[in-house]
Amino acid sequence: MDRKKGFIRKTRQRDLILKTLRGTDTHPTADWIYEQVKKEMPNISLGTVYRNLGKLAELGEITELNFGSKYSRFDGNAENHYHFVCTECGKILDVKGCKVDKELEKCVEQNNNVEVDFHTTLFYGFCSDCKNKKG
């Protein structure tokens, strides 16, 4: 078997963490995932959760989101897509129906003498719930 440097062993912990993250679209924090996973595997430690989330992100299986500086959130959908953050309730949503604009990257490259690999965009505002609640 190919055991080159960076070889990743399959473990029950990692499988469960990935399954849990893939099973939600709430963009949870590491701690939320930890709490969920603990229900099925009570002895798992927070450190293990962090280590696995880090590895999964490194492998490109998931995405780590750093909105605001407080804590990281994780997205089981590794495909590049936009996010929306509700400034009222803090909810994070995947943006539907709007394609990631690769043309914009060309514009940035041409005007700034850089090479762009990808970009992330965050929209801020009111989600449908909070939009209705406010005056």
List residues near DNA by CB under 7 A.
Answer: 1, 3, 5, 7-14, 29-31, 41, 43-48, 50-52, 54-55, 69-72
Provide the minimum distance between the beta carbon of 43 and a copy of itself in the complex, in angstroms, as a whole number. Answer: 27
Distance CA 75, CA 78 (A): 7
Among 9, 42, 117, 135, the residue binding a copy of itself under the rule CB under 8 A is 117
Under rule CB under 8 A, residue 2 binds a copy of itself: no
Q: Which two tokens stand for residue 104?
A: 């914009």
Q: Return the bridge partners of 94, or none.
A: 83
Q: 82 Cβ partners below 8 Å, 6+ apart?
A: 94, 95, 98, 100, 120, 121, 122, 123
Among 19, 22, 131, 133, the residue binding a copy of itself under the rule CB under 8 A is 131
- x/- letters, 61..100, toward a copy of itself (CB under 8 A): ---x-xxxx-xx---------x-x-xx-----x-xxxx--
For residues 102 and 108, the answer to whether their CB atoms sit within 8 Å is no
Of 12-20, 44-52, 54-62, 116-124, the segment contacting a copy of itself by CB under 8 A is 116-124
Q: Could you identify the residue written with the tokens 């440097």?
A: 5
